[in-house]
Structure 1
């Protein structure tokens, strides 16, 4: 149970890292830092949507358009960002220039993927080592 919670926290943290990276890199991608609750809401909605959309889109693509399977992560990131931007009070806006809508999913996806890969190596490895040392 602890490992499940730790993995969930890592997934949420990786979502936050991806969104913050896009905010720092892209001029048209804006996080409303004055409303911390809005940003927390944006992270949680984004993380839940990603966790639901990716497997669903993966299965759909495998059945109908197998050539799209490789891009499912970016497509699900785009859809999750679109939904979060449309939710009032979510603390996230994507605006001009127009190509921000193309670059944002790629940047968020890359940083989220890297964080999802690196954070477990840091935290879960430490937890496993603690368990081994304790037994």
Structure 2
């Protein structure tokens, strides 16, 4: 159960990191820093949608469009960003087609790397703590 919570926290942290990196390097991709609650809401909405959409889209594409399976992460990232931007209380905005395309790529890349690199650090530490006890 603790491992589940650690993985969930890592996923939310990776979503936050992806959105922050996109905000820092892309013109037209912005987080409303004056509304911290909106940013938290945007991160949570994005993370939850991403975790729901990716498996669902994988199932749909396996059934109907096998050739698109490799792009599931990008598609689910784009859809999650789109929904997060459409929610008025979420503190995220994306202006222009280039910001949408590059924003999707940057957020997908950062979240993919973070969810790949961070779990071994935290979960390994947890396993070592259990073995030491």
Q: Distance in 2 between matches of 1:55 and 1:78?
A: 15
1:69-80 counterparts in 2 under 5 A?
A: 69-80=69-80
| 1:1-135 to 2 correspondences below 5 Å | 1-96=1-96, 98-134=97-133
Q: Secondary structure at the match of 1:33?
A: coil
Task: State the shift of 1:101 in Å.
Answer: 0.9
- Deviation for aligned residue 1:41: 0.2
Look up the SS of the partner of 1:89 in the other structure: coil
- How far apart in 1 are the matches of 2:120 and 2:31? 28
Structure 2: distance between partners of 1:123 and 1:31:
28
Aligned length: 133
Distance in 2 between the 1:24 and 1:121 partners?
27
What's the offset of the Cα at 1:118?
A: 1.1
Distance (whole Å) between structure 2 residues aligned to residue 38 and residue 46 of structure 1: 12
Per-residue deviation, 1:133: 1.3
Q: Under a length normalisation based on structure 2, what TM-score does the superposition of the two structures give?
A: 0.97
Q: CA RMSD in A?
A: 0.8
1:8 Cα offset (Å): 0.7
SS in 1 for 2:27: coil
Structure 2 unaligned residues grouped into runs of 5+: none
1:3 shift after superposition: 1.0
TM-score, normalization by structure 1: 0.96
Query: 1:13 & 1:82 partners in 2: Cα distance?
Result: 19
